[in-house]
């Protein structure tokens, strides 16, 4: 049975043509899939009854199913464990920000990048997610917001589990799909993609002509330390990744963000602050400092508030644009992969 969730209008038109349905029917089906929350073809009440039965006999609508939902005490962050038909589950996070509803989607089930601080990679990677599965996370939350308070998804960060540039075509397909007015109609500027630095694909992304924001997970200011924290650095060096990020900024005229997780005594010393300032001098860039959310399987600790501020102030004094990430949802294990791991263990 063919799954139509995640198909673009043109694809739906092709599929429906096999059932002798005219083009305008595809538009109706798309609306049912992406805006009106139909769970079955039977729900699509503006299609002829016979067509509904015929479609249901050979097509499916692959929406994710809610396994677990956790809400932070302040009610602003919600985390969802969503499950697909084959039992694969992924995490999606909703953050109700002053500027709108922001969601963080996963692009792979698990991850095989092996970063030392990250919970998503502890069990390796199960598989890439399809366009429909990535879009399913966004549409699920959008439908839910609509019901809860008439809200919608306003911005999307592609920063959940997985390495998006290792699932390039599906991630780009997802961004383009969500942008369509028959889906969420989101502007490309409302997307941020975060990568551990898959250099060839960073150059490719720069050529897509889409004004999406790019974040590079840097986490260390020299090759040796970065290789220790992020094994991908042995394949694509920090220098190459930063050059590719600078190229992205140059081509797209979009400011690149460097993510830097602060880990006590490991990468948060004055030495690293100085190296980081030197590395980014003169770039159209900003640094987002993220005090580590410690993962119990890893022995990496969060720095004291004094150390966090000292690092931040050092960069400020060197005229680097820097912010410390506002933490949301630490009480609900909202760090990458923590909820899914619990699910795998409980299974
Ligand atoms: N693979 C991509 C996207 C997923 S990781 C990438 O590497 O960018 C994205 C981000 O999640 C990291 O850069 C970091 O900002 C955050 N993150 C992951 N584990 C974390 C942890 N234990 N504490 C705080 N932030 C974490």
Alpha-carbon distance 286 to 316, whole Å? Answer: 11
Band (336; pLDDT cuts 50, 70, 90): low
Q: Where are the domains of the chain?
A: 2-60, 65-346
158 pocket-lining for ligand 1 (C-beta < 6 Å):
no
What CATH class is the domain 2-60? mainly alpha
Q: Which residues contact 61 (CB under 8 A, 6 or more apart)?
A: 3, 4, 5, 33, 38, 39, 40, 41
Name the residue among 233, 299, 257 with its Cα closest to residue 159: 257
259 pocket-lining for ligand 1 (C-beta < 6 Å):
yes
Ligand 1 pocket test target in 219, 287, 290 with most atoms within 8 Å of CB: 290
User: How do strand 2-3 and strand 191-195 relate by DSSP bridges?
Assistant: unpaired
Write down the pLDDT at residue 2: 94
Tell me the pLDDT tens digit for each residue of 77-90. 999 999 999 999 99
Active site residues: 91, 336
Q: Is 226 helix (H, G, I), strand (E, B) or coil?
A: helix
Say what percent of the chain tops pLDDT 90: 88
Q: What are phi and psi of 157, to 5 degrees?
A: -110, 130
Residues 333/341, Cβ–Cβ less than 8 Å? no
335 pocket-lining for ligand 1 (C-beta < 6 Å):
yes
Q: In this structure, which residue's CA is closest to atom 19 in ligand 1?
A: 118
Give the rounded distance of the alpha carbon of 225 from its chain centre.
Answer: 25
CATH superfamily of 65-346: Aldolase class I (3.20.20.70)
Write down the pLDDT at residue 140: 98
Write down the pLDDT at residue 317: 97
Write down the pLDDT at residue 335: 59
Q: In this structure, which residue's CA is closest to atom 20 in ligand 1?
A: 118
Mean per-residue pLDDT, 258-282: 97
């Amino acid at each position: 049975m063919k799954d139509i969730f995640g198909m673009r209008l043109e694809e739906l038109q092709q599929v429906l043509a096999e059932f002798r349905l005219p083009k305008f029917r595809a538009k109706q089906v798309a609306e049912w899939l992406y805006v009106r929350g139909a769970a079955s073809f039977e729900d699509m009440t503006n299609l002829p009854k016979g067509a509904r039965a015929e479609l249901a006999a050979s097509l499916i609508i692959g929406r994710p199913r809610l396994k677990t939902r956790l809400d932070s005490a302040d009610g602003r962050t919600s985390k969802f464990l969503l499950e697909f038909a084959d039992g694969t589950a992924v995490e999606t996070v909703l953050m109700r920000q002053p500027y709108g509803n922001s969601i963080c989607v996963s692009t792979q089930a698990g991850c095989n990048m092996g970063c030392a601080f990250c919970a998503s990679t502890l069990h390796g990677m199960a598989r890439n997610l399809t366009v429909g599965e990535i879009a399913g996370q966004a549409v699920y939350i959008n439908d839910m917001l609509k019901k809860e308070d008439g809200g919608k998804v306003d911005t999307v960060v592609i920063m959940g589990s997985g390495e998006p540039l290792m699932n390039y075509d599906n991630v780009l397909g997802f961004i383009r799909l969500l942008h369509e007015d028959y889906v969420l109609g989101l502007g490309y500027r409302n997307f941020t993609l975060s990568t551990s630095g898959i250099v060839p694909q960073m150059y490719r992304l720069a050529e897509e002509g889409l004004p999406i924001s790019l974040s590079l997970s840097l986490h260390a200011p020299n090759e040796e330390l970065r290789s220790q924290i992020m094994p991908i650095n042995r394949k694509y060096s920090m220098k190459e990744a930063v050059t590719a990020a600078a190229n992205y900024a140059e081509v797209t005229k979009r400011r690149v963000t460097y993510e830097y997780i602060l880990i006590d005594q490991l990468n948060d010393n004055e030495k690293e602050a100085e190296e980081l300032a030197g590395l980014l001098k003169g770039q159209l860039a900003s640094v987002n400092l993220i005090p580590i959310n410690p993962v119990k399987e890893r022995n990496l600790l969060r720095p004291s508030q004094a150390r966090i501020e000292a690092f931040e102030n050092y960069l400020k004094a060197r005229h680097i644009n820097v912010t410390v990430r506002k933490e949301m949802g630490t009480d609900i294990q909202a760090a990458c992969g923590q909820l899914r791991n619990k699910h795998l263990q409980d299974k």
